[in-house]
């Protein structure tokens, strides 16, 4: 056998693993000896046990031995850990000969934005017989408008039994049918020279339910843009706005889109000004946004959402009297509004928030900062970036966002741009993904919080891959919440508890309580009770509701049952609040600490106290199997075999999944044996 030292030395004369089963030992021995198929078999065993760290070297040996399944598994594991470069490397080791690896590589490239690479590997995977590659490759063809070829390939994949291809083909045929209808309706309106009919023919294109169509098939964006351009040519000013909305999906064409909307406004369409207001607000130009919202309001005598957005702009800038006037200009009566109307609810909630701000001095501009403003401005006008930043910061604190934005830009430092982005996004109503570039210079200089914030922005926007990349950067810079997020993501994916635990530990080291609990719980579950104890004590010190129960489990695992008792009593006190954190289904998986407390008390020969605890359990759940088994143990110890038998009968009767360790017959046999012994 060829040794692969580049992956460490998982084989050789490794000593027996404590607690290892005979089957696992045999697999390990076979793998160490390099027997055919043994690398993969042992790797699969370790992976199934949640020991992915130990499994990875064996998967690597299997991959080096030519196993494409191992290459694919390694790639998936590294991708789930956020190591996309390593994932790509392992996919490529077998992609030329294995359709599954070709598919995984193509997906990875597609997610990274490399459409050309993705198309290449979907094509090569299809040649290797991967029907998934054939389907996804067809979808990419459809995405750029090669409808006929895409449908042909989807038909082939459908014939090969791919349900995704069947559904996708039906969706594309429906899209094409709709496209033909829109074209026909528009052509009829063009023939009549009717602008309103031309616009109405395309009304469904902007149905919110069709948003997914444009994400999946970008060619439809170009088709919609072209149709609205034709409707605009007939004379529809509204069509210009909708054409611009499709153009604006490409950030690089914003100026082109804005020019179309401005032309629509000039041609008399009142809604154009509102759209411009939204766009400028999303981009952080609050003065332009306010101007266009006012224009929209004045143009049609009271544009409801222009009024609302003006109110929000004013509220954020603490121009509270103006904000209240704009909210009331919507015509919504806070004393008589429709509770089933979401729009009215937003307006009433905004009015209540204005009142709350007025009543809370902490949420209003500081008089002290107002007094400092003239001196700060004088220094800013004569000084450098730091003085400009100080003045911008003061304006920011005073909620004078438009002025603050100007001075942050004048300062121009990474810190100033970061605060500008945060002010506009968190306080000014701007769109996060449009503000992220302001965060990036600070992140590039090692600002962990800035890197984390970028991750959050992309996470909220649904771009999980980009978010994960930024969370990794932030965690590498020591950001606790980023590490916590990575651990949580790994835990939710499942299959890699070691990776999740590592991230939770890193997060806990920064002083965060919840990940300290999560790390400690993970360690208890794998039997590392001594490692878990300090983490769970940290979580308990931070008043984490579930931590006392798991600390007690750790102490019991360390044979310190007497120390566990007070923590279990605290866990019992917390238990009702713990349950309220979960929905009905999740509560089924939450252990009742009263049972552990009763078990500890029994072990300490305090049966009477244990019986009182179990009585509480029976009051809530008369048929609780484990409680009956514990009560049976107590009854047996005091010699009441009839009571013991009844409890054991209940334990079996209330065990619908058949998981009881002893059948009733075995329990009765045990009771007979005990009778003879006594």
- pLDDT score of 222 more than 70: yes
On average, the pLDDT of the chain sits at: 92
End-to-end CA distance of the chain: 63
Contacts (Cβ under 8 Å, ≥6 apart) of 230: 186, 190, 198
pLDDT of 13 strictly over 60: no
| 44-99 pLDDT, tens digit each | 999 999 999 999 999 999 999 999 999 999 999 999 999 999 999 999 999 999 99
DSSP code of 495?
S
pLDDT-derived band of residue 636, with 50, 70 and 90 as boundaries?
A: confident
Q: What is the pLDDT of residue 495?
A: 84
* Domains 5-171 and 213-360 belong to one CATH topology: yes
Mean pLDDT of 396-423: 98
pLDDT tens-digit map of 554-613: 999 999 999 999 999 999 999 999 999 999 888 888 999 999 999 999 999 999 999 999
- Which residues lie below 8 Å from residue 667, measured CB to CB, with a gap of 6+? 632, 645, 648, 649, 651, 652
Q: What is the pLDDT of residue 83?
A: 94
Can you give the pLDDT at residue 670?
55
Whether the predicted model's global pTM rises above the 0.85 cut: yes
Inform me whether the pLDDT recorded for 2 exceeds 50.
no
Question: Does domain 213-360 fall into CATH 1.25.40.10?
Answer: yes
Weakest mean pLDDT among 48-52, 417-421, 657-661: 657-661
Name, in order, each residue with C-beta under 8 angstroms of 243's C-beta and a sequence gap of 6 or more. 225, 228, 229, 231, 232, 260
- Confidence at residue 638, expressed as pLDDT on a 0 to 100 scale: 87
Residues 6+ apart with CB under 8 A from 294: 306, 310
Interval 362-373 mean pLDDT: 95
pLDDT at residue 194 above 90?
yes
Closest CA to 102 of 131, 142, 78: 131
C-alpha distance from residue 117 to each of 79, 154, 186, 273, 454 (Å): 18, 20, 38, 42, 27
Residue 123: pLDDT band with limits 50, 70, 90: very high
Q: Where along the chain do its domains lie?
A: 5-171, 213-360
Please report the pLDDT score of residue 585 as a whole number.
Answer: 87
**pLDDT band, residue 677 (cuts 50/70/90):** very low
Of 270 and 404, which is predicted with more confidence?
404
Give domain 5-171's CATH architecture: Alpha Horseshoe (1.25)
Residue 17: pLDDT band by 50, 70, 90 thresholds? low
Among 494, 519, 517, 492, residue whose Cα is nearest residue 505: 519
Average pLDDT on 539-547 reads: 97
What pLDDT does residue 646 have? 86
pLDDT tens, residue by residue, 156-183: 999 999 999 999 999 999 999 999 999 9
* Higher per-residue pLDDT: 277 or 671: 277
- Predicted local distance difference test score (pLDDT) of residue 667: 53
**463: burial class by Cβ within 10 Å (0-12, 13-18, 19+)?**
middle
Q: How confident is the model at residue 51, as a pLDDT?
A: 93
**pLDDT reported for residue 639:** 82
Task: Please say whether the beta carbons of 105 and 89 come within 8 A.
Answer: no
Model pLDDT, residue 666: 54
Averaged pLDDT, 327-356: 93
pLDDT band at 16 (very low <50, low <70, confident <90, very high): low
What pLDDT is stored for residue 8 in this prediction?
Answer: 42
């Amino acid at each position: 056998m060829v040794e692969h030292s580049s992956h460490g030395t998982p084989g050789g004369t490794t000593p027996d693993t404590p607690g290892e089963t005979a089957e696992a030992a045999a697999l390990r021995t076979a793998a160490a000896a390099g027997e055919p198929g043994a690398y993969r078999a042992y790797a699969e065993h370790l992976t199934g046990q949640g020991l992915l760290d130990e499994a990875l070297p064996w998967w690597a040996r299997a991959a080096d031995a030519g196993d494409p399944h191992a290459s694919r598994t390694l790639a998936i594991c590294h991708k789930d850990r956020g190591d996309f470069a390593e994932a790509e490397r392992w996919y490529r080791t077998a992609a030329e000969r294995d359709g599954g690896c070709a598919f995984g590589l193509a997906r990875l490239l597609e997610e990274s934005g490399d459409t050309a690479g993705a198309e290449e590997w979907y094509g090569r995977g299809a040649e290797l017989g991967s029907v998934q590659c054939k389907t996804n490759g067809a979808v990419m063809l459809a995405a750029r408008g090669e409808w006929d070829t895409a449908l042909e390939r989807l038909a082939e994949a459908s014939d090969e039994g791919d349900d995704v291809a069947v559904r996708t083909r039906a969706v594309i045929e429906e899209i094409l049918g709709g496209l033909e209808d829109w074209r026909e309706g528009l052509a009829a309106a063009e023939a009549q020279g009717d602008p309103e009919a031309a616009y109405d023919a395309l009304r469904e294109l902007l149905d919110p339910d069709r948003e997914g169509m444009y994400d999946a098939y970008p060619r439809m964006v170009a088709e919609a843009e072209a149709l609205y351009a034709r409707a605009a040519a007939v004379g529809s000013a509204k069509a210009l706005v909708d054409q611009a909305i499709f153009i604006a999906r490409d950030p690089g064409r914003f100026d082109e889109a804005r020019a179309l909307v401005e032309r629509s406004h000039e041609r008399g369409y009142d809604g154009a000004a509102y759209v411009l207001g939204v766009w400028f607000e999303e981009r952080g130009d609050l003065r332009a946004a306010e101007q266009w919202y006012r224009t929209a309001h004045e143009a049609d005598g009271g544009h409801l959402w222009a009024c609302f957005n003006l109110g929000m702009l004013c509220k954020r800038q603490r121009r509270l009297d103006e904000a209240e006037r704009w909210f009331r200009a919507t015509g919504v009566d806070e004393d008589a509004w429709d509770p089933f109307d979401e729009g009215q609810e937003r307006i009433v909630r905004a009015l209540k928030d204005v009142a709350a701000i007025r009543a809370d001095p902490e949420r209003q501009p500081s008089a002290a900062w107002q007094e400092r403003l003239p001196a700060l401005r004088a220094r800013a006008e004569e000084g450098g970036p730091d003085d400009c930043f100080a003045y911008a910061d003061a304006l920011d604190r005073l909620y004078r966002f438009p002025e603050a934005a100007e001075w942050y830009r004048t300062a121009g430092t990474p810190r100033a741009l970061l605060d500008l982005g945060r002010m506009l996004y968190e306080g000014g109503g701007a769109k996060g993904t449009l503000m992220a570039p302001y965060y990036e210079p600070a992140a590039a200089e090692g600002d962990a919080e800035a890197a984390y914030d970028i991750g959050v922005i992309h996470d909220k926007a649904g771009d999980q891959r980009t978010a994960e990349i930024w969370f990794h950067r932030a965690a590498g810079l020591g950001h606790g919440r980023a590490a916590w997020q990575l651990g949580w993501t790994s835990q939710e994916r499942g299959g890699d508890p070691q990776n999740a635990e590592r991230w939770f530990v890193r997060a806990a080291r920064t002083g965060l309580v919840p990940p300290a609990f999560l790390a400690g719980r993970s360690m208890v579950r794998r039997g590392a009770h001594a490692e878990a104890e300090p983490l769970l004590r940290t979580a308990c010190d931070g008043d984490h509701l579930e931590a006392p129960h798991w600390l007690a489990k750790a102490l019991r695992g360390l044979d310190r049952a007497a120390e566990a008792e007070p923590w279990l009593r605290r866990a019992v006190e917390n238990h009702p609040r713990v349950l309220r954190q979960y929905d009905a289904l999740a509560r089924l998986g939450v252990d009742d600490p009263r049972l552990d407390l009763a078990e500890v008390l029994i072990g300490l020969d305090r049966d009477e106290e244990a019986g009182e605890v179990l009585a509480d359990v029976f009051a809530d759940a008369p048929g609780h199997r484990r409680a009956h088994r514990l009560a049976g143990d107590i009854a047996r110890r005091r010699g009441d075999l009839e009571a013991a038998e009844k409890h054991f009968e209940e334990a079996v009767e209330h065990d619908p999944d058949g998981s009881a360790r002893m059948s009733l017959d075995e329990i009765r046999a045990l009771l007979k044996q005990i009778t003879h012994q006594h």
